[in-house]
Structure 1
Amino acid sequence: MTDAVGHPVVTIDGPTASGKGTVASRVAAVLGFHLLDSGALYRLTALASARQGVAADDAESLAGIAATLDIRFTGNDVVLDGCDVSHEIRAEAIGLRASAIAVHGPVRNALFARQRAFREAPGLVADGRDMGTVIFPDARLKVFLTASVEARAARRLKQLSDKGFSANMDDLLKDLRERDARDTARTVAPLKPAADAFLLDTSEMSIETAVDAVIGWYRRSA
């Protein structure tokens, strides 16, 4: 299959803590492609708007912030307004705020072109929630990762603990269920598999196995 426009794209969508970020980064490394962590853009918008005291329901103000973010991705570092915020944007409170502001159409529209601009030679692996359905509908390969909410909560707990954040399993389960409901029910770009996406349940699957599956699908699609 040939991409309709530009360089090849692999999209990896799925709910929070399904493993899409880790799988996407490893697939990008194997293929030698660029990587887009679309969730980071929403987290950056969440962080910047929180710093400015903008309410999570003020769609137009949030969109203005999203459109003018001064951001830079350097390796694993995420820089906002000249400061490294790689650790700060992974806080659970910022993730929850990012999910809340992502329901707004103006915010999603403001970030649309910024996400599309990551499509450069030799190719791109993009992870998020609407990469295959909205941002790159002509992607060469679309993958939708999922996992049970219990497996995802356990992964999220480990991620937060490893980064030095405190967390509670019951709270994480509640937050994930609420986030899933919000992401799938929103009227703009709801979380769902693209019609032509490969589905991959990672509940009891190692990262290595998931990466191998995606690489295999990609090579067979070329």
Structure 2
Amino acid sequence: MAPVTIAIDGPAGAGKSTVAKRVAERLNLMYVDTGAMYRAVAYLCAKEGTNVHSEKDVEALLEQHCVSFEQGEDRTLQVVIDGVDVTSRLREPEVSALVSTVAAHPRIRQLLTEWQRAFAERHSVVMDGRDIGTVVLPHATVKVFLTAAPEERARRRQEEYRRMGYHVSLEDMVKSVIERDRKDSERSIAPLRMADDAVRIDSTDKSIETVVDEIVQLVENAHVR
């Protein structure tokens, strides 16, 4: 029996990671947070002071370090660099500011896409990102494009930063979210867009559980067909 693959794409702050993890728990599938992989590269660039605009420099940096991804007991992806678990550092503002630039490099995307596809070939997965349904898993069992109003996404991201001890004004957060959308949508390699056969879900006024219920229902319907 072929693995079940659920692709959840969408812009920053739409709630992809939280929803994908809950869906994985409900369906007893493996959750693969592809954003954490790109954040790992961005974190390493920030830590080493690497020029993120140089694909060659970023690629050389990765060759100098041991970066591995492991599935934690709570179904989240753990990122280990040179033997140190850096998962808790991946959503710091300085890392978030570099992710889109790092993710735009073709060779970096190719490397991580290959790793993501290998996961999906071996396991039934819920995978979230920005190009899962369009590039990484074009034949996914179910594809969802999860979005929300920019102001709501900014509010969620602001709250996430607050829990980490960082203060960012809502106005600045809205600007950051809109700029991230622009970069992700306009990049030449694997831009953020909704797959033709994806189901669009707007989470602006919905609870996490409501969104999870909708996706689980889509999976069940796909199995019935």
Q: TM-score, normalised by structure 1?
A: 0.92
Stretches (4+) displaced over 6 A:
none
Residue 107 of structure 1 aligns to a residue in which SS?
helix
1:37 alignment partner, one of 33, 36, 48: 33
Q: Please show how residues 18-167 of structure 1 align to structure 2 within 5 Å.
A: 18-66=14-62, 69-73=66-70, 74-75=72-73, 76=76, 77-119=78-120, 122-167=123-168
Summarize the Cα distance change of 1:125–1:168 in structure 2 as closer, same or farther, 3 Å threshold.
Answer: same
Counterparts in 2 of 1:198-209, with a 5 A limit?
198-209=199-210
Q: Please, what is the CA RMSD of the aligned residues? A: 1.7
Structure 1: distance between partners of 2:61 and 2:3: 29
- Corresponding residue of 2:3: 7
Deviations 1:155-205 (A, max 9, x none): 111111122222221111111111000000111100001110000000111
Give identity over the alignment, percent. Answer: 37
CA distance in 1, matches of 2:61, 2:219: 36
Gap runs ≥5 in structure 2:
none
What is the CA-CA distance between 1:13 and the residue it aligns to?
A: 0.4
Offset of residue 66 of structure 1: 4.8
**Could you tell me whether the CA contact under 8 Å between 1:32 and 1:122 is conserved in 2?**
no
Q: Tell me which moved more, 7-16 or 87-96.
A: 87-96
Q: Is the 8 A contact 1:16 1:152 kept in 2?
A: yes
Query: CA–CA distance in 2 between the matches of 1:199 and 1:83?
Result: 38
Q: Which moved more, 1:200-209 or 1:69-78?
A: 69-78
Paired residue for 2:211?
210
For structure 1, list consecutive stretches of 5 or more residues without a partner in the other structure. Answer: none
In the alignment, the residues of structure 2 paired with residue 191 and residue 66 of structure 1 have an alpha-carbon distance, to the nearest angstrom, of: 24
- Contact 2:133/2:140, CA 8 A, preserved across alignment: yes
Deviation per residue, 1:134-171 (Å, 9 max, x gap): 00001000000010000001111111112222222111
**How far off its partner does 1:121 sit?**
5.3
C-alpha deviation, 1:60, in angstroms = 2.1
SS in 1 for 2:194: coil
Amino acid of the structure 2 residue aligned with 1:174: K
Deviation at 1:51, TM superposition (A): 2.2
**Count of residue pairs the alignment pairs up:** 218
Q: Go from structure 1 to structure 2 and tell me whether the alpha carbon gap of 1:219 and 1:64 turns closer, same or farther (over 3 Å shift).
A: farther
Kindly provide the amino acid, as one letter, of the partner of residue 221 in structure 1. Answer: A
What letter is aligned with 1:169? L
Q: Partner amino acid for 2:167?
A: S
* Alpha-carbon distance in structure 2 between the residues aligned to 1:144 and 1:64: 34
